[in-house]
Structure 1
Amino acid sequence: MWYSPDDLLALLIVATGTLVQAWVGIGFGLLAAPLLYLINPAYVPGPVLLLGWVLSLLVVIRQRCQLNWRRVLPAMLARVPGSWCGALLLLYISSWQLSLVFGTSLLLAIWLSSRRYTLKLNSFNLSISGFLSGLMGTATSVGGPPIALLYQYESRKVARNEIAAFFLVGTPVSLLMLAWGGGVAWIGWPLVIKAMPGLFLGYWLSRQLESVVDKDNIRVLILFISVLSAAVVLWQGVMEGLDLNRLASLWRS
């Protein structure tokens, strides 16, 4: 299989995003999606979502004996109506408006969290977080922070494993809802296949990192990645709202 310079750069991006998410629990979509989009817009959202699903599958297979499936089940079930509502919103509300609302709401949630307003990891809160993750993930392609913020006081391995299980079930739901709403016309299998070596490399590197750095408290990392996610969502909303291409054409006329 021939790899162009752009393909090699995509491999590096996928490997880096995989390394972060396989160690922390979130971060692949945040790091990979905007950079891969610059290389080839066809990477987003189908191939990025599918690569993220494969990563979740790898984590779940390796950590299946340490997973508390019963605890994370409410979040999985709530993701379904959340994803449906996200796809429905896209039919009636502009994506840039949703990005502004969700980005601002996420920043507020992060601020409250930083002020020690904590939520217990129970079935009710998991259901709310799962619903919001599905809603935000389908509408903006950034669905990790709503569920990750609930796990910020858990150990790194517990957070990573249960978030991976959540995405294993939730990502196909989002893909189906996006397809129903016309948001995913095709998966882009050639791009996925070419990027797979980068995913396996990143996953292998995460295992090496785990054997060297066994940090258990990842609250700061989760908050940092969540702030970046909110910033990306807000930036997308602002850019789409301004519609710079349209403004430029009006200026020229």
Structure 2
Amino acid sequence: MAEGTIVLYSDNFNGPDSGSFDAASPPDGLRVGGAVAGPASYLQSFGQQQGILGAQLDMTDGGGLRFGPETSRFDWAAGSTGGDILGAGGIKVTFDWIHSGTSTEWIAWKVGTPNGDSGVNAGEVDHALLIRQSATGGGETNERWDNGANQGYSGVAHDSAAGTHAVELVYTFGSFADGTDVNLVATVDGVRIVEDTFTWDNNGGSLFMELATGTTENFVDNLVVSTVPEPSVSLLGLAGLGCLLRRRRG
């Protein structure tokens, strides 16, 4: 992790194989970690029961994982967690995405969801990024939804070969208040696939998040939610030097 980063939640899914994620061995220090890991935030299935297979999250069509119980989901904006996130200027999500290489379906991360189950295209969801493969070559890559409105495909290609791919989502913002602009930069294997700006809407200052899928051919591993990295002292020094040089030139 970069300097100043706080790991808020992590799950390596290193549990016994189970067709029921919620019934798998209870999270512990060997599987789940981070500053907010606990019964109120533990990942649980929604829509369809998810599973664990080969020490990876085995995703099931039409469902996904949420943080915390249904209707009392973990609020990332509450308490010291919200303070840590705002203090750093945002939140970062990383995970390994493992797929067969033949699916035209997707895996999605949703932010600003309601405190209850919803689809990626629901009007209550502030932003849903569907990382798509395009096995047909039709450009159906990286679809985005904003409060139920389809924002289209980014069209930026990423490696769709079978295997493991590193996903990183960085959301930067200065407040949890409705109407606040949020900037998203998403990468797959280091390739920047999406740059979006949207707003928090109808959340009342709360923040709920979910992982979803539309296929049974997706696996996820090494999920980490953290604060965004703080600028290093050296970078801040260079920024200050740049300002000083501009003043002198002026």
Report the TM-score, using the length of structure 1 for normalisation.
0.24
Q: Which has the higher helix share?
A: 1
Higher relative contact order (CA 8 A, sep 6+): 1
Q: Which has the higher strand share?
A: 2
